[in-house]
């Protein structure tokens, strides 16, 4: 593809480009700036990677709207395009060259589809998929090999289920969702009541609902509750190996990094960001826009817009200072003793 | 179902009820008190939810043995039953309306069952299940779609294996166990011996044993050891994404929340409770009744009955105080310096 | 097997033995010293287990080169062999008695293998395995039941894929690797660009490469990046439920314990050891030989050879002292206040 074609495809984001200068190389692939070979298009997000412009082998660059960076590209005779949001443009440029694997419509003969299940139009059902009675599969759904859909689950149009994932009974998955390999949706919540001799099981009669545009990472688990619903609202993106317990209510456009875990009945607002390995206790409520840093342990409610860190989690600003003191604790303890001794003498 | 029928079914727990007052609504479902629609039965565990009685749309309530709460229900003309343990009664009430999906007995034609495997009576084997040579499947076992049983594994009567779980060679699973979707039981422990050039593999010749009534969460892994056994004793309940390493010995009626992990050779007593994301180091021993809060990192032995928190874990009572001080560390460091300065001047 | 045959098989490691004294029992199995029955061979790694020699029921022992331990064994009339590295010798002794289950060569009739996939010689393909178009399976590869190989993936000679694991499109797996049950290799990295209304997906056009001799634990996930590659270098061993994000570069002979997680673009040197539940932030670089203790949270670069602990991680030596002070924080805060009061009075 010619560089000029790429610039045209991204036109609504473009603020300036080297096309006027006549530079229009053939682009074969997209690459990270430090690894980019000749014939590739790369991007520079900001000042941090500016030096890389001087050494990259890329033939063309996506730049922010920054005349210094443009000058650096010009100096190296590289094609360039300045854009409003280089990262989004990079994502869109990748999509010009690459589309993820998706099965062609059709039902593989080894798929096991119950007579009492319903399939939409143009579905693509892979080998060894199992779809149980009462399941409803929307139009253009793509289900990869080995996935299992329990009775009565509904999968919305255009949704993709990856290999060996499991959708449990009565779960409702919206449109344009992606469930990655090995994820388990709508499984029984961890509901046991303590008794004198052990644990009595509480059946999990509720359901799990994933709204439209939700993405669930590989081997992530989203449980259903005893009563009511576990719900993940639209456009929320969840990474691998995350655990969402029974009865959690997750807002819209939330992002959760890998290995986050939350106990039962947690409520999370819209546009919350949870970094890796964050844990959230039973019934805690996080307001809209909360950000929690990696490994935070959230024991209680967090107000909208707060940034928290640490276990138990508190203000990130204070945390940074506290964390810096942690290394000095032994020294502080020693100083304190010395002072006590001195004062005692006096 | 009439409310009176429910009260009758739960009779051994009942201490008082509104039946004498003639209130006997038709109950269609069970619901959480804040979401309960008309025609539903809900429960109040204690004082915390008492206010909800004043606003709930539920038609009937399970209450603790508490005349204040009864009076609140009477005031709203709601049917009510007071019981010894509202949570257990709620669990039993759910079971009156809901039973989890279980396959009817029979072997699906797409299941692959080795001639040298043995199936008990009334087993229910789903589509695409694979059972290898020498495996022994007990009476009334239910194995859902895509589960794999390696050679020589034994599954006890009434046990349920959910979709796409894997039971490795020679594992022994007791009666009335539930292995949830994607869990892996009896896989090779992480056994490598360091050498000058890398790692030499230690074969894992031992086995994994789950005793009766054990429940293993989705995508949880329980490894087998090099020699001897990994054992989970009866009635222990383990949540999703937990890791039990080779050679661990887990007591009876233990509960582990999601994402708990333990290194090799850990010993855990009876009725221990581990909250989410707890980690336990190599060879540590936890006595009976230990409770560890979420994200605790247990580096050494913990005596029976202790409650621990933090990393490295110590007494929960002390932890609560220490954690409260963490936020004040920067201020403490400053004060300390000021004092040192002042004393130096003097 | 006679004890003398075992000693002969391990000859290159032997420094001394009881064979001269004529003790040559029949050995039926290998066992841990505290559980060892008569007829078994066990091992003592060092002083810690020395007392166990006095009570074990083992018939023969592998000992380090230590005359005190030899004397203890002689006193109990046990056969013994002293070796350079008892743990390696124990591993090799296990291998004399036990080899892990491996399928015989052949393709099970229920495997679904695309006509445009390529199978090497003597492959062993289990029931319900799915291999898509363009996949290349090396000689003597063993693929267990239910594993799924997406289009264009390559599996090197002698590699084993365990049950229900998933190898995503275009992944490259080397020779002599083991991918354990439920692991997912080469899945889409968690790539989303924030927008005004939510998240825009960045397609993950890169690939995941596992070099020779890599082992990946059960339900572990290794993602592929938007561009370029995620790479795990040779002889690296990764335990269960680990998350390796898009674009990470993992060195040679690294060991990662269970539930370790790392964000995108992390670089890890050779022979690094990460204990359980360690987390590593975005783009951090760990030099060769770094060791991180369990639950460490690594936020920034770590120099070669450093041992780190805590969150945020710092020198393990300092950490041990700081951790000891944590319990005393409430007391320290109190002392500090008392001093301030006293000084104010003066």
Separation in Å, CA A277 to CA A293, A298, B296, C250, C319: 9, 11, 13, 20, 21
From the list A156, C342, A227, the residue with the least C-alpha distance to B31 is: A227
Cβ of A332 within 8 Å of Cβ of C332? The answer is yes
Please check whether residue C333 touches A, CB under 8 A: no
Q: Which of B199, B205, B239, B237 is nearest to B219 (CA)?
A: B239
Beta carbons of B328 and C329 less than 8 angstroms apart: no
The whole-angstrom separation of Cα C263 and Cα C278 is: 11
Q: Do C150 and A101 touch (CB under 8 A)?
A: yes
pLDDT at A343: 86
Q: Which of C35, C99, C235 sits opposite B228 (nearest CB)?
A: C35
Chain B, 154 to 213: residues with Cβ < 8 Å from chain C are 164, 166, 168-169, 182, 184, 187-188, 190-193, 195, 197-205
Q: Does B19 touch chain C (CB under 8 A)?
A: no
CATH code that applies to domain B106-320 = 2.160.10.10
Here the contacts of A35-40 (C-beta below 8 Å, separation 24 or greater) are: A35/C227, A35/C228
pLDDT at B51: 87
Q: Does B44 touch chain C (CB under 8 A)?
A: no
CB pairs B-C closer than 8 Å:
197
What residue spans in chain C does CATH classification 3.40.1390.10 cover?
Answer: 3-97
- Is residue A329 packed enough to be buried (19+ CB in 10 Å), middle (13-18) or exposed (0-12)? buried
Which of C128, C243, C318 is nearest residue A259 as measured by Cβ atoms? C243
Closest CA to A106 of A132, A126, A133: A126
Q: Calculate ∠ Cα A232-A234-A238, nearest 5°.
A: 55
Say whether B182 and C180 touch across the interface (CB within 8 A): no
Q: Touching check for A318 and chain B: CB below 8 Å? A: yes
Residue A258 is nearest to which of C199, C228, C261, comparing CB atoms? Answer: C261
Active site residues of C: 246
- Chain B residue with minimum CA distance to C330: B322
Annotated active-site residue B246? The verdict is: yes
Chain B contact set for C257 (CB, 8 A):
190, 263
- Model confidence at A278, pLDDT cuts 50, 70, 90, reads very high
Predicted confidence at residue B144, as pLDDT, reads: 98
Q: Which of residues 20-39 of B touch C (CB under 8 A)?
A: none
Q: If you count residue pairs, one on A and one on C, with CB atoms under 8 Å apart, how many are there?
A: 197
Confidence (pLDDT) at B276 = 98
- Beta-carbon-side half-sphere exposure of residue B200 (alpha carbons within 13 Å): 16
pLDDT recorded at residue C196: 87
User: CATH 2.160.10.10: which residues of chain A?
Assistant: 106-320
Number of other CB atoms surrounding residue A99 within 10 Å: 10
B140-167 confidence digits (pLDDT tens): 999 999 999 999 999 999 999 999 999 9
- Cβ-based contacts of B195 with chain C (< 8 Å): 88
Task: Please say whether the beta carbons of A146 and B164 come within 8 A.
Answer: yes
The closest CB to that of C330, out of B195, B199, B325, belongs to B325
Provide Rg for chain A, Cα atoms: 26
Region A149-154 average pLDDT: 98
The alpha-helical segments, DSSP class H, found in chain B are 3-9, 67-75, 86-97, 316-326, 329-345
Question: According to the model, what pLDDT value does residue A48 have?
Answer: 75
pLDDT over 90 at A27, yes or no: yes
The residue from B132, B144, B180, B246 that is catalytic is B246
Identify the H or E element spanning B258. none
- Contact of C228 with chain A, judged by CB distance below 8 Å, is answered with yes
- Calpha distance B197→B199 (Å, rounded): 7
Chains that touch A (3 or more CB pairs under 8 A): B, C
Tokens of C164: 């229900």
Searching chain C, which residue's CA lies closest to the CA of residue A272?
C198
Chain C contact present for A219, CB below 8 A: yes
**Closest of C114, C162, C169, C122 to residue C141, by C-alpha:** C122
- Residue-wise pLDDT for A72-83, tens only, equals 999 999 999 999
Cross-chain CB nearest to A219 (options B88, B146, B219): B219
Enumerate residues 6+ apart whose C-beta is below 8 A from C55.
none
E strand or H helix that includes residue C342: helix C329-345
Q: What is the pLDDT of residues C197-248, one digit of tens each?
A: 899 999 999 999 999 999 999 999 999 999 999 999 999 999 999 999 999 9
Bridge-based pairing of strands A199-201 and A192-194 is antiparallel
Q: What's the pLDDT band for A192 if we cut at 50, 70, 90?
A: very high
Q: Which pair of structure tokens corresponds to residue A243? A: 């655990």
* Tokens, residue A239: 């990474």
Which class is C3-97 in CATH? Answer: alpha beta
Average pLDDT, chain A: 95
pLDDT in tens, C84-102: 998 999 999 999 999 999 9
Give the Cα separation of C183 and A218 in Å (integer). 9
Tokens coding A115: 């007579």
pLDDT digit string (tens) for C262-276?
999 999 999 999 999
User: Could you tell me the two tokens for B229?
Assistant: 């056994």
Q: ipTM score here?
A: 0.96
Distance CA C248, CA A308 (A): 26
Q: How far is B34 from chain C (nearest CA, A)?
A: 30
Mean predicted confidence (pLDDT) in A173-194 = 98
pLDDT reported for residue A244: 98
Count of C-beta atoms within a 10 Å radius of residue C276: 28
- Which sequence positions of A are flagged as catalytic? 246
Residue C279, min C-alpha distance to chain A (Å): 7
At residue A346, does pLDDT exceed 80?
no
Q: What is the pLDDT of residues A93-126, one digit of tens each?
A: 999 999 999 999 999 999 999 999 999 999 999 9
DSSP string, B91-160: HHHHHHH-----PPSEE-TT-EE-TT-EE-TT-EE-TT-EE-TT-EE-TT-EE-TT-EE-TT-EE-TT-E
Which among A182, A188, A318 has the least Cβ separation from residue B100?
A188
Chain A residue numbers with beta carbons less than 8 Å from the beta carbon of C339 are 336, 339-340, 343
pLDDT above 90: residue A345: no
Which chain C residues are closer than 8 Å to A310 by Cβ? 311
Confidence of residue C342 (pLDDT cuts 50, 70, 90): confident
**Mean of pLDDT values over C35-62:** 90
Query: CA B264 to CA B230: how far, in whole Å?
Result: 9
Q: Which residue has the higher pLDDT, B136 or A43?
A: B136
- Percent of chain C whose predicted confidence (pLDDT) is above 70: 100
The percent of residues in chain C predicted with pLDDT above 90, rounded, is 90
Distance, CA of B225 to CA of B248 (rounded, Å)? 8
**Residue B240: its chain A contacts at CB < 8 A?**
184, 187, 190, 221, 223, 243
| Per-residue model confidence as pLDDT tens digits over C173-193 | 999 999 999 999 999 999 999
Please, what is the average pLDDT of chain B? 95
Asked if the model's pLDDT at residue C345 lies above 90, the reply is: no
Its pTM stands at: 0.97
Per-residue pLDDT tens for A283-336?
999 999 999 999 999 999 999 999 999 999 999 999 999 999 998 999 999 999
Q: List, as own/partner pairs, every contact residues A317-321 make where C-beta atoms lie below 8 angstroms and the sequence separation is at least 24, other chains included.
A: A318/B327, A318/B330, A319/A293, A321/B329, A321/B330
Three-state SS across chain A? CEHHHHHHHCHHHEEEECHHHCCCCECCEECCCCCCCCCEEEECCCHHHHHHHHCCCCCEEEEECCHHHHHHHHHCCCEEEEECCHHHHHHHHHHHHCCCCCCCCEECCCCEECCCCEECCCCEECCCCEECCCCEECCCCEECCCCEECCCCEECCCCEECCCCEECCCCEECCCCEECCCCEEEEECCCEEECCCCEEECCCCCEEEECCCCEECCCCEEEECCCCEEEECCCCEECCCCEECCCCEECCCCEECCCCEECCCCEECCCCEECCCCEECCCCEECCCCEECCCCEECCCECCCCEEECCCCEEHHHHHHHHHHHCCHHHHHHHHHHHHHHHHHC
Tell me the chain B residues in contact with residue C218 when contact means C-beta distances shorter than 8 Å.
Answer: 166, 184, 187, 221, 223
Chunked into runs of 10 residues, chain B (346 residues) has average pLDDT values of: 94 92 91 92 82 93 92 94 93 94 96 98 98 98 98 98 98 98 98 93 97 98 97 98 98 98 98 98 97 97 98 94 91 91 84
Asked whether B218 and B256 are in contact (CB, 8 A), the reply is: no
- The pLDDT score that the predictor gives to residue B344 is 84
Give the closest of A237, A277, A333 to C279, CB-based: A277
The Cα B28–Cα B39 span in angstroms is 6
Residues of C in contact with B128 (CB under 8 A): 128, 146
Tell me if A229 sits within 8 A of A251, measured CB to CB: no
A41 has pLDDT over 90: yes
As a whole number of Å, the end-to-end CA separation of chain A is 84
User: What pLDDT is attached to residue C48?
Assistant: 75
Q: Are C316 and C295 in contact (CB under 8 A)?
A: no
The reported pLDDT for the residue numbered C267 is 98
Residue B22's pLDDT is what?
Answer: 84
pLDDT in tens, C54-71: 999 999 999 999 999 999
Task: For residue C312, list chain A residues with Cβ-Cβ distance below 8 A.
Answer: 323
- Dist. CA C209–CA C175, nearest whole Å: 12
Cα gap C305→C312, rounded to integer Å: 18
pLDDT of residue B186: 98
pLDDT at A49 over 80: no
B127 at interface of C, judged by CB pairs closer than 8 A: no
| CA–CA distances in Å: residue B220 to residues B103, B129, B245, B331, C240 | 23, 19, 11, 43, 9
Nearest CA in chain C to A331: C322
Q: Out of B169, B198, B312, whose CB is closest to C253?
A: B198
A residues 235-264 lying closer than 8 A (beta carbon) to C: 235, 237, 239-241, 252-253, 255, 257-259
Contacts of A93 (CB under 8 A, 6+ apart): A6, A10, A30, A41, A43, A62
Residue of C276, C311, C319, C333 best to disrupt the A interface, most CBs of A under 10 A: C311
């Amino acid at each position: 593809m010619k560089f000029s074609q790429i610039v045209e495809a991204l036109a609504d984001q473009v603020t300036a480009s080297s096309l006027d200068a006549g530079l229009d190389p053939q682009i074969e692939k997209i690459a990270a700036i430090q690894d980019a070979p000749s014939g590739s298009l790369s991007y520079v997000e900001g000042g941090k990677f500016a030096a890389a412009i001087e050494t990259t082998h890329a033939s063309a660059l996506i730049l922010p709207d920054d005349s210094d960076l443009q000058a650096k590209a010009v100096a190296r005779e590289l094609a360039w395009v300045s854009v409003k949001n280089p990262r989004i443009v990079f994502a869109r440029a990748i999509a010009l060259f690459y589309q993820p694997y998706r099965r062609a419509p059709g039902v593989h003969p080894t798929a096991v589809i119950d007579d009492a299940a319903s399939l939409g139009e143009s579905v693509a059902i892979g080998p060894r998929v199992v779809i149980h009675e009462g399941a409803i599969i929307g139009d253009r759904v793509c289900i990869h090999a080995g996935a299992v859909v329990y009775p009565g689950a509904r999968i919305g149009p255009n949704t993709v289920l990856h290999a060996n994932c499991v959708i449990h009974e009565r779960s409702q998955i919206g449109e344009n969702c992606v469930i990655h390999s090995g994820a388990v949706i709508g499984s029984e919540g961890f509901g046991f009541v303590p008794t004198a001799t052990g644990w009595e099981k509480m059946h999990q009669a509720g359901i799990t609902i994933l709204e439209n545009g939700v993405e669930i990472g590989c081997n992530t688990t989203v449980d259903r509750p005893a009563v009511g619903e576990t719900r993940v609202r639209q456009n929320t993106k969840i990474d691998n190996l995350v655990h969402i317990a029974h009865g959690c209510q997750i807002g819209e456009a939330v992002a959760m990094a890998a290995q986050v875990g939350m106990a039962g009945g947690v409520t999370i607002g819209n546009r919350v960001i949870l970094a890796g390995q964050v844990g959230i206790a039973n019934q805690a409520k996080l307001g809209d826009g909360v950000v929690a840093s990696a490994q935070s342990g959230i024991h209680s409610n967090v107000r909208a817009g707060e940034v928290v860190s640490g276990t138990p989690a508190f203000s990130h600003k204070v945390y940074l200072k506290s964390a810096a003191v942690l290394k000095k604790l032994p020294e502080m303890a020693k100083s304190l003793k010395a002072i006590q001794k001195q004062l005692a003498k006096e």
